[in-house]
Structure 1
Amino acid sequence: MSAMSYVVTGGGRGVGRAVVERLAADGATVVVVERDPSSLAWLAHHPAAGRLSAVTGDASDQETAARAADLAEAAAPLTGWVNNAAVFRDAALHTAPATEVFDLIAANLRPAVIGAGTAVRRFLAAGTGGAIVNVSSHQARRAVPGALPYATAKAAVEGLTRALAVDYGGRGIRANAVALGSIHTERHDAFLAGLDPAEADRVTSELTRLHPVGRIGRTGEVAEVVAFLLSERAAFVNGVTLPVDGGRAALGVDPEAR
């Protein structure tokens, strides 16, 4: 396998970390962009540590993205970019100033635009083509109450994915997205831990009901799909949003329905 490199934003934990580990398992060099240095400690002890490096900073910052691309290209040709970084904070349009709501939308959209822009410029300059995968959510299509900024941003990320595919497909650059259902991450564990046991049980059974496979997803299951979309095996897949949600979108149960 020829040497290749990838950048994964928000790659320190959860889905991002699983993607990093999956790509490293294929022998690739992976650069992790992460705001929180404490979520990077595992990199040094990983079996593939020699091919893993980190840039501490905000994925929505142009210089941070450029540093990550430089690191990746110094190791091997840049092959793929995964825009996974996200901000989980919401505000209601009837109580928060509209400008604050807009800023929260931008907080989730900007990293994908900055990352895609950096990747596209590097792919074009190298003349190699490449692949971009944007991480979206089932909320892009079916909003859940109280998450307007997040749902709006993810819908925009899916629109961005289609536009990238159309603008750059002819130049060897593919862009696709994965729309995730509920996934078992550290953040999910922390959320459940903050509830009383009866409520945690209720939430767990509700999530089971929303996903036809009868459980929420595992980070490794998402990573497999991302790795596929980045690979040459997906050479004719461009501009799609692939639900990785155990059938949640197909079932389409109203999250508030009882």
Structure 2
Amino acid sequence: MKPFNQSYALIIGGSSGIGYATAKRLLESNIPVVIVGSSMEKLKTAQSELSRFGQIETIQANLYHEADIQRVVDFAGNFSQPIRFLVNAAGYFKPTPFLEHTANDYNTYLDLNRASFFITQAAARNMAANGGGAIVNVGSMWAKQAIKATPSSAYSMAKAGLHALTQHLAMELADHNIRVNAVSPAVVRTPIYEAFIDPTELDATLSSFNSFHPIGRIGSADDVATTIMFLLSYEAKWVTGAVWDVDGGVMAGRN
């Protein structure tokens, strides 16, 4: 991996969806980006597509494997290469009734939180050693509101934990000039739904949720990336500890 000649952004889960859209916007703002993803094929595609916008590097890491997590932690621990921005966008979502949840289902969500926790710790240490930075976590509307049609107890528990972590880190890291915020999306067109929806039926299935949102449509990855970019930017210099609803109005009320 080539060293950057300036501070960079680290995006966990950056090879598709919201992470990918955020990487594109950062690159368009002349900020070098490192994206972390589990699929080498997706990483290669993302690097090929995004390289025309700026300097991008990739790290292949399965966040359920301790050795892979440690490689990302070690990478972030190189204080001579400053991290200015961190976006935690990795996710998994498969609605499962509470009475049918298994230990493996539960661990799928909570182990991902564990990986995010220690990668964020390493990135925050880097930021603290280099004058500060900004972190945005991708949470979820499901952490705030139960939806009977999509039973998501373990997922919501994990995302609620991420929301809580956002507020705690905002308090603890403020003295290091590090701001920490989160976005809380509703239904957004991303590959995360392919875990339980046939890809050939994905558009039609997600479109059926358009009327669920007061604005009248589901979100795009770029809708959320736009808000993430603002929260990372200097324009949001007085915003920390916030969990912003980016949800087409769902938390205000549903149709």
TM-score by length of 1: 0.84
Is the aligned partner of 1:120 residue 2:127?
Answer: no
Judge conservation of contact 1:83–1:134 (CA < 8 Å) in 2: yes
Cα 1:32/1:47, change in 2 over 3 Å: closer
Name which of 209, 234, 240 aligns with 2:242. Answer: 240
1:151 counterpart residue number: 156
Partner Cα separation in structure 1 for residue 96 and residue 191 of structure 2: 23
Per-residue CA deviations over 1:156-184 (Å, capped at 9, x if unaligned) read 00000000001111221111000011112
Is the aligned partner of 1:226 residue 2:233?
Answer: no
Partner Cα separation in structure 2 for residue 218 and residue 171 of structure 1: 33
Name which of 231, 249, 252 aligns with 1:250. Answer: 252
Judge conservation of contact 1:12–1:40 (CA < 8 Å) in 2: yes
Q: One-letter code of the match for 2:242?
A: V
Secondary structure of 2:73's counterpart equals helix
Name which of 69, 74, 81 aligns with 2:76. Answer: 69
Partner Cα separation in structure 1 for residue 18 and residue 75 of structure 2: 19
Partner Cα separation in structure 2 for residue 91 and residue 172 of structure 1: 40
Secondary structure of 2:93's counterpart equals coil
What is the CA RMSD across the aligned residues, in angstroms? 2.7
Is the aligned partner of 1:37 residue 2:40?
Answer: yes
Judge conservation of contact 2:63–2:112 (CA < 8 Å) in 1: no
TM-superposed CA distance for 1:143, in Å, is: 2.2
Partner Cα separation in structure 2 for residue 89 and residue 73 of structure 1: 39
Instruction: State how many pairs are aligned.
Output: 244
Partner Cα separation in structure 2 for residue 8 and residue 234 of structure 1: 19
TM-superposed CA distance for 1:38, in Å, is: 1.3
Cα 1:114/1:31, change in 2 over 3 Å: same
Name which of 7, 10, 14 aligns with 1:11. Answer: 14
Per-residue CA deviations over 1:208-229 (Å, capped at 9, x if unaligned) read 1211111111111211111111
Secondary structure of 1:248's counterpart equals coil
Name which of 87, 90, 107 aligns with 1:82. Answer: 87
Name which of 159, 163, 169 aligns with 1:164. Answer: 169
Secondary structure of 1:94's counterpart equals helix
Partner Cα separation in structure 1 for residue 106 and residue 199 of structure 2: 31
Secondary structure of 1:236's counterpart equals coil
Judge conservation of contact 1:55–1:67 (CA < 8 Å) in 2: no
Cα 1:138/1:194, change in 2 over 3 Å: same
Moved over 6 A (4+): none
TM-superposed CA distance for 1:111, in Å, is: 2.9
Cα 1:90/1:30, change in 2 over 3 Å: same
Is the aligned partner of 1:140 residue 2:143?
Answer: yes
2:210 counterpart residue number: 208
Gaps of 5+ in 1: 254-258
Partner Cα separation in structure 1 for residue 202 and residue 230 of structure 2: 39
TM-superposed CA distance for 1:59, in Å, is: 3.8
Higher helix share: 1
Partner Cα separation in structure 2 for residue 196 and residue 35 of structure 1: 22
TM-superposed CA distance for 1:46, in Å, is: 3.1
Gaps of 5+ in 2: none
TM-superposed CA distance for 1:13, in Å, is: 0.7
Partner Cα separation in structure 1 for residue 153 and residue 29 of structure 2: 38
Judge conservation of contact 1:33–1:59 (CA < 8 Å) in 2: no
Judge conservation of contact 1:212–1:251 (CA < 8 Å) in 2: yes
Partner Cα separation in structure 2 for residue 84 and residue 196 of structure 1: 20
TM-superposed CA distance for 1:94, in Å, is: 2.5
Judge conservation of contact 1:168–1:174 (CA < 8 Å) in 2: yes
